[in-house]
């Protein structure tokens, strides 16, 4: 499994505002979108393209187009939905599928409550969006889901990760073709499975009432 942790002052700055408990939902949503666009730039480094001829006003030359089958972007509801706009701005021709998963806050086990994905993902490059990689249970289950449908490659874009969760996902993934792009790798999980220092519950902060 390949892991890339962002190292850029603009990302660290935006993340600092996102972490701040006083940042209200509208600002949190806007920053999430901006952060995803920056992370997606790295996450899409390996997106497949095909050579295509083009005519500029001056000459005939070769360019590239996003290859088919088109990439599939999969936000994990609810919090991953806050990352969708930032991603599709960068890859507007991507197809979008949805996975609804919620972590049981007592057992910390993920439960899938919704799924809207193509039945056959053969040959597809998939991009999973979820801001938080905590115990790793949710992301590992989502990755399994996509490979079970035939996906060729899965890249996960997360805003924050915990070392425990990253290790869990790495073990679960084995030798499958998976990459994880993180805005930051935090210190640890607390006794409730929350990322420390983290940013709290991403879904609540995105979609809770504005203060």
Ligand X SMILES: O=c1cc[nH]c(=O)[nH]1
| Binding residue positions for uracil | 195, 200-202
The distance from CA 171 to its chain's CA centroid, rounded to whole angstroms, is 19
Minimum separation from the CB atom of position 1 to ligand PRP (A): 15
Closer to ligand PRP at the Cβ: 67 or 102? 102
Closer to ligand X at the Cβ: 183 or 198? 198
Among ligand PRP, ligand X, Mg ion, none, the one that 156 touches (CB under a kind-dependent 5 to 8 A) is none
Within 78-107, the residues that bind Mg ion by CB under 5 A are none
Q: Distances in Å between the alpha carbon of 175 and those of 13, 72, 103, 172, 178?
A: 34, 21, 26, 9, 8
How, if at all, do strands 98-103 and 110-116 pair? Answer: antiparallel
Among ligand PRP, ligand X, Mg ion, none, the one that 1 touches (CB under a kind-dependent 5 to 8 A) is none
Among ligand X, ligand PRP, Mg ion, none, the one that 32 touches (CB under a kind-dependent 5 to 8 A) is none
Residues that bind ligand PRP (CB under 6 A): 76, 78-79, 101-103, 108, 110, 130-139, 165, 193, 201-203
């Amino acid at each position: 499994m390949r892991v890339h942790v962002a190292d850029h002052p603009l990302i660290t700055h935006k993340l600092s505002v996102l972490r701040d408990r006083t940042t209200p939902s509208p600002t949190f949503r806007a920053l999430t979108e901006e952060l995803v666009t920056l992370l997606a730039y790295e996450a899409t480094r390996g997106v497949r393209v095909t050579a295509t001829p083009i005519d500029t006003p001056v000459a005939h030359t070769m360019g590239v187009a996003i290859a088919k089958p088109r990439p599939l972007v999969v936000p994990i509801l609810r919090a991953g939905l806050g990352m969708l706009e930032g991603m599709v701005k960068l890859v507007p021709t991507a197809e979008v599928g949805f996975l609804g998963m919620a972590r049981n806050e007592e057992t910390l086990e993920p439960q899938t409550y919704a799924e809207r994905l193509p039945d056959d993902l053969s040959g597809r490059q998939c991009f999973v969006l979820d801001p938080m990689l905590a115990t790793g249970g949710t992301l590992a289950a989502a990755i399994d889901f996509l490979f079970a449908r035939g996906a060729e490659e899965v890249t996960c874009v997360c805003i924050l990760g915990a070392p425990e969760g990253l290790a869990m996902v790495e073990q679960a993934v084995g030798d499958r073709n998976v990459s994880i792009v993180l805005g930051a790798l935090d210190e640890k999980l607390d006794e409730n499975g929350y990322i420390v220092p983290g940013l709290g519950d991403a879904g609540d902060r995105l979609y809770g009432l504005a203060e």
